[in-house]
């Protein structure tokens, strides 16, 4: 399996059709376009974020399971904000195959 690292410094996460399903939109690439640029999809299953890169984007082939807790810039830990954890992970980069559920 090839290792792919996906970055997106500025994202907009919007609810999609279905419970717990969200679209991840790259805000920087969407500027000046008629439609938002969708780079991935998110499902929240048992509190963990399951990120799948969209097949028509630069994140094609990326799949990761992300823990909903993350570190803030001041060093403290944030809990209970799964979409914030996804934003933090995309800023630093998500590696394909990452699995925090274990």
Pairing of strands 94-95, 77-78: unpaired
Residue 83 lies in a domain: yes
Cα separation of 97 and 11, whole Å? 21
Domain residue limits at 11: 5-95
Beta strands in the chain (DSSP E): 5-6, 11-15, 21-26, 38-45, 48-53, 63-66, 70-71, 77-78, 94-95
pLDDT for residue 42: 92
pLDDT of 16 over the 90 cut: no
Contact (Cβ atoms closer than 8 angstroms) between residue 22 and residue 15: yes
Q: Is 102 within a domain? A: no
Residue with the bigger pLDDT between 74 and 43: it is 43
Residue 102 has pLDDT above 90, yes or no: no
Q: What per-residue confidence (pLDDT) applies to 1?
A: 52
Q: How many beta carbons lie within 10 A of that of residue 70, not counting itself? A: 18
Would you state the pLDDT for residue 19?
66
Number of domain units in the chain: 1
Report if residue 100 sits inside a domain: no
Q: Is 87 part of a structural domain of the chain? A: yes
């Amino acid at each position: 399996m090839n290792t792919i690292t996906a970055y997106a410094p500025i994202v907009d996460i919007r609810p999609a059709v279905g419970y717990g399903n969200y679209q991840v939109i790259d805000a920087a690439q969407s500027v000046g376009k008629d439609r938002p640029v969708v780079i991935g999809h998110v499902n929240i299953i048992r509190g963990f974020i399951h990120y799948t890169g969209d097949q028509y984007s630069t994140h094609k082939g990326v799949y990761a399971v992300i823990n909903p807790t993350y570190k803030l810039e001041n060093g403290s830990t944030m809990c209970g904000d799964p979409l914030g954890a996804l934003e933090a992970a995309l800023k630093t980069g998500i590696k394909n195959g990452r699995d925090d559920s274990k």
